[in-house]
Amino acid sequence: MTEAQKFKEFNWQVPKVVASLPQGEDVKRLYEELSGDIEANFNNNSNIKGISYNKENKELVGSNIFVASRLNELLESSGIRTAIPSDDRHGDISRLVHNKIYTDFNALILRTREDSYSPNDKISKDLAEKIENREGKLKLPVMIVRPLIRYSQEDSSYDLVFDLDNKTQIIEDERLDGKKYPTGMKFNEVDDLGLPLFDKKGTRTWYAREDGLSGLDLYWDLDLYSDVGDLRDSNDDGRVVVVSGEAASQNFSGLESYISGLQAEKAKEVEAIENRYKEALKILRGN
């Protein structure tokens, strides 16, 4: 092995995404904007009200898929989004929630068209049809990343339905099958999709429904839950995690600015040297 080939496999402990909990002065405005949005666009639907505002800590309290989805749209113009499963492929979300809170990823898991949990049945069938119309086929189970939430009094017991846009990803994966990969399976790590790499010696646990629709939650013990039928479920231990972008790209952006500055400085120095050179030539020529 040459010197250049050594030391290639460090496990770099560097965040790949900049993940945070919504806290600080902007949170009250964000909560007020969400509340106004729910009143104006969702007929003040109580099912989407999965969070509250803690004035003392200046933070949002609570978490469910409805909130994760709608906040994602409200934050989009700010370059911020709610966390999706793949954001945790290097453990960045896990480090944030570990031994503290749970969070709902902005993602759904659809295992079958019909749902044994009756409030989900119409919304599951509606979502399955929309996926089939967009993809041209429907091979269940799937994970729907970045779904949209919309108000509807016709298609759901929640008076809410899910929709798709060009940013919504439909991911087929057999590990989502709750019968083949049931509750209780163990893992330590997740892959690039944010789904478990099952390992009998693992210390983390996978929880899964056998049918219908569920969210995907990461708990403080780092277990992954997709076994809850009630999409409204939220409590004071929950927090919505937001992501501001790829840390690496931000670092490169800063590096590019630095390089641009060096290039400008170099150009000035070259110009100064050229001017001195011209002056020296004039002196040599007796001008």
Average pLDDT over residues 80-87: 96
Q: How confident is the model at residue 245, as a pLDDT? A: 61
Please determine, for residue 1, whether its predicted confidence score (pLDDT) is greater than 50.
yes
The answer to whether position 282 is within a domain reads no
The answer to whether position 265 is within a domain reads no
The answer to whether position 50 is within a domain reads yes
Host domain of residue 205: 15-246
Q: How confident is the model at residue 266, as a pLDDT? A: 61
Please determine, for residue 243, whether its predicted confidence score (pLDDT) is greater than 90.
yes
The answer to whether position 276 is within a domain reads no
Mean pLDDT value across the chain: 87
Residue 13 binned pLDDT confidence (cut-offs 50, 70, 90): low
Contact (Cβ atoms closer than 8 angstroms) between residue 158 and residue 124: no
Please determine, for residue 90, whether its predicted confidence score (pLDDT) is greater than 50.
yes
**What residues does 190 pair with on adjacent strands?**
196
Please determine, for residue 124, whether its predicted confidence score (pLDDT) is greater than 80.
yes
Average pLDDT over residues 144-155: 91
Residue 10 binned pLDDT confidence (cut-offs 50, 70, 90): low
Please determine, for residue 260, whether its predicted confidence score (pLDDT) is greater than 90.
no
Higher local confidence (pLDDT), 281 or 135: 135
d(CA 79, CA 202): 36
Please determine, for residue 252, whether its predicted confidence score (pLDDT) is greater than 70.
no
| Residue 144 to residues 84, 109, 236, Cα–Cα distance (Å) | 10, 6, 26
Structure pTM?
Answer: 0.80
When divided into structural domains, the chain yields a total of 1
The answer to whether position 286 is within a domain reads no
Higher local confidence (pLDDT), 277 or 44: 44
Q: How confident is the model at residue 253, as a pLDDT? A: 38
d(CA 239, CA 234): 9
Residue 146 binned pLDDT confidence (cut-offs 50, 70, 90): very high
Q: How many CA atoms lie within 13 A of 92 on its CB side?
A: 26
Per-residue pLDDT reduced to its tens digit, 14-43? 556 789 998 888 899 999 999 999 999 999
The answer to whether position 273 is within a domain reads no
Number of H helices, E strands in the chain: 5, 15
Residue 256 binned pLDDT confidence (cut-offs 50, 70, 90): very low
Contact (Cβ atoms closer than 8 angstroms) between residue 216 and residue 226: yes
Please determine, for residue 4, whether its predicted confidence score (pLDDT) is greater than 60.
no
The answer to whether position 147 is within a domain reads yes
The answer to whether position 275 is within a domain reads no
Contact (Cβ atoms closer than 8 angstroms) between residue 102 and residue 238: yes
